[in-house]
Structure 1
Amino acid sequence: MDSDSDFYGDEETVSSLQARVDSFDIAAWWTRHHSLLAKHRTMPRPPKHLSQLYNPYASLPGAWQLGEPISDFLQRLPPATTDYRPGLDWIWVANPYYPPRPEPWRSRFIEGGRERLALLEDFKQTAEANRKKVASGARASLDREVAKERRATVEDLHELAVAYSMLTGKWMLFPAPGCVNEVWAKVVQATVAGTLGIAAKVDTRAAGQGGKERVVCVYTKDFRDKNDVARVLNRLRELELVRPGEGRPLYYKSDAWTELGIYSGNGWGISPSLYSSNDIFVYMRKANTQR
């Protein structure tokens, strides 16, 4: 078998179990059982011995430690008043039930990704130069070609991310300074209980930050796994950290995009986010009605 998660048994049994797993829709299940889960959402997973739990951030000064009571952690590093200093730009918490995965080949991904973005940039510059030489009617055609090349670039970057295991992504919350402790406490409790994502972080307070919104990132294991992305968003809804149709939506961004510097207003015209909460809530409703 390829991994500890593979099924054992005769061929018929394995095929039957695998078919049941493949057909299981996580997003629909979470939506359908929302009321039941809400009654038990504070219940942690069965306890494990500390040696069976995981914390990839144990060496960081700004991280929750295995065995540390959540109340102590929140009191030790309250994001509203924990100031930035070198080595303490983020406060981290890990899902202790999620085992570590092999490190992504970050340097190779960045190298290949930048080369692909450079090709897109060259294409855009050539098209822009040609816009000045052609009749106005032909400019729309040039714009379509640029859009086509942009889509091809995004597809290529996704393939690179998969090839080099740059798969993690995150939902991003932007609480006001006066709310950041409350928001972070909910995220920490759910992460440590194993009911949210694989990890989370919040930025520390920068000098002169004043009333600027803070950043809370809630990580999932694979940006391609839309059902898991939806599951985590649904948990955030249960925690009342997002409400469908109210306020501005949340956005989900892949770590691959962060590594390549694809932010809002980037010169390539690539969307910095893969999903919005509005998109995923629609996806969840459709998935639920189809079952």
Structure 2
Amino acid sequence: MAKPQTNPEQDQDLLTPDSSFYGSDTEKARLEELADSYDPGIYWTETHPRVLSVLQWRARRAAHEEDGVKDEDGDDVLADATDVAVKVELEVPMGADVMGGESVSLSRAAGPWVYVLSPGVASEEGDVARLVRSGTKVLRRFTEQKVELEREHDASGAKTKIGLARKLTPLRLGAEREILGRAREAGVVRGKWMVFLGEDEVDEAWGSVVRETLDGRLGVAAKVGTQGKERLLAVYTRDFGDVDDVRRVVGRLVEMGLVDRKGKPVYYKCDAYTYLEILGGNSYGIKASMFSSRDVLERKV
């Protein structure tokens, strides 16, 4: 009997996002080994002390202990984070002299990231814990539905995954919409343009981004990686749903020479996806970025 004809390219597209959630036996063994070997103590001793919010809290606490500022109940009053954040971040320059010799390295002084906030912008946004709780429930429910549909598909003996994809696609799109809705309910609505730069060009670019951010001409905040040969420079906008502002910011990045309008695009990701650890190639098949610079600049979104 002749085998039914299939489209290899179409099948490949379907297999990539909709492969088994649990992976092969080798992959499961690898993940179990990673889980068993994970030591949370390293996070608390080496990473947590350098987290931006921890640095800001310590700076505010120290400042108010010096001033003796108290509220009506006698407790310390913590100032708005904006002024402290800018001061803490900008006291450590990005120059090579900071990264070598007897000087304290930038990565050790400030952790893996250096931040800047636009004046008047709060460092924290919304109720992140609420988003993570509700968003995780959405992803867990989608995963359970996905696994059940895959089980039914395998049992059916179907030759291709076209039918499976037709069932999964609306479920996935629904999960994406629900996550963005939960993010808005929680007030976690910022997003960022992600620009990757070489080690030799990041200092100049970061200096320009800092000036533009402090002058209110760019986004509400920005951060840059301090380690590795390729550095991520992220420029934040106030609301991922405000496409006009998202377009304005990437347009300014084009004017600054950090984004090539006709060259390789850069991508925009909402913070909600970052907090929920929705990365590229994730098991849900959810696209990690919301927009590309090319689509936004050409007004396709």
TM-score between both structures, scaled by the size of structure 1: 0.68
2:258 aligned partner: 241
Given the superposition, is the C-alpha separation of residues 103 and 124 from structure 1 closer, same or farther in structure 2, using an over 3 Å criterion?
same
Q: Which amino acid aligns with 1:170?
A: K
Residue among 249, 256, 266 paired with 2:272:
256
Given the superposition, is the C-alpha separation of residues 92 and 264 from structure 1 closer, same or farther in structure 2, using an over 3 Å criterion?
same
Residue by residue over 1:209-233, the C-alpha shift from the partner in whole angstroms, topping out at 9 and shown as x without a partner, is: 3xx3101110000000000000000
Residue among 269, 272, 282 paired with 2:288:
272
User: Are 2:177 and 1:152 aligned?
Assistant: no
Where in structure 2 are the equivalents of 1:172-211 lying within 5 Å? 172-205=194-227, 209=228
Report the identity percentage.
Answer: 32
Residue among 232, 238, 249 paired with 1:232:
249
Residue by residue over 1:259-281, the C-alpha shift from the partner in whole angstroms, topping out at 9 and shown as x without a partner, is: 00001111101011000001101
Between the aligned partners of 2:121 and 2:199, the Cα distance in structure 1 is: 32
Contact 1:173 1:217 in 2 (8 A): yes
How far did residue 143 of structure 1 move?
1.3
Contact 1:113 1:160 in 2 (8 A): yes
1:134 aligned partner: 156
How far did residue 252 of structure 1 move?
0.4
2:111 aligned partner: 88
Where in structure 2 are the equivalents of 1:43-82 lying within 5 Å? 56=82, 58-59=84-85, 63-64=89-90, 73-74=93-94, 82=105
Q: Which amino acid aligns with 1:84?
A: S
Between the aligned partners of 2:272 and 2:93, the Cα distance in structure 1 is: 30
User: Are 2:169 and 1:169 aligned?
Assistant: no
Between the aligned partners of 1:136 and 1:184, the Cα distance in structure 2 is: 53
1:111 aligned partner: 133
Q: Which amino acid aligns with 2:291?
A: Y
How far did residue 107 of structure 1 move?
0.7
Q: Which amino acid aligns with 1:262?
A: I
Residue by residue over 1:38-92, the C-alpha shift from the partner in whole angstroms, topping out at 9 and shown as x without a partner, is: xxxxxxxxxxxxxxxx862615885137xxxxxx855599689944237522111
2:165 aligned partner: 143
How far did residue 101 of structure 1 move?
8.2
Contact 1:79 1:181 in 2 (8 A): no
How far did residue 140 of structure 1 move?
1.9
Q: Which has the higher contact order (CA 8 A, sep 6+)?
A: 1
Between the aligned partners of 2:186 and 2:98, the Cα distance in structure 1 is: 35
* Secondary structure of 1:197 counterpart: coil
Contact 1:89 1:203 in 2 (8 A): yes
Which is richer in helix?
Answer: 2
Q: Which amino acid aligns with 2:131?
A: F
Structure 2: segments with no counterpart, 5+ residues: 1-79
Residue by residue over 1:100-121, the C-alpha shift from the partner in whole angstroms, topping out at 9 and shown as x without a partner, is: 3874111111001001000111
Given the superposition, is the C-alpha separation of residues 160 and 111 from structure 1 closer, same or farther in structure 2, using an over 3 Å criterion?
same
Between the aligned partners of 1:92 and 1:192, the Cα distance in structure 2 is: 12
Contact 2:267 2:291 in 1 (8 A): yes
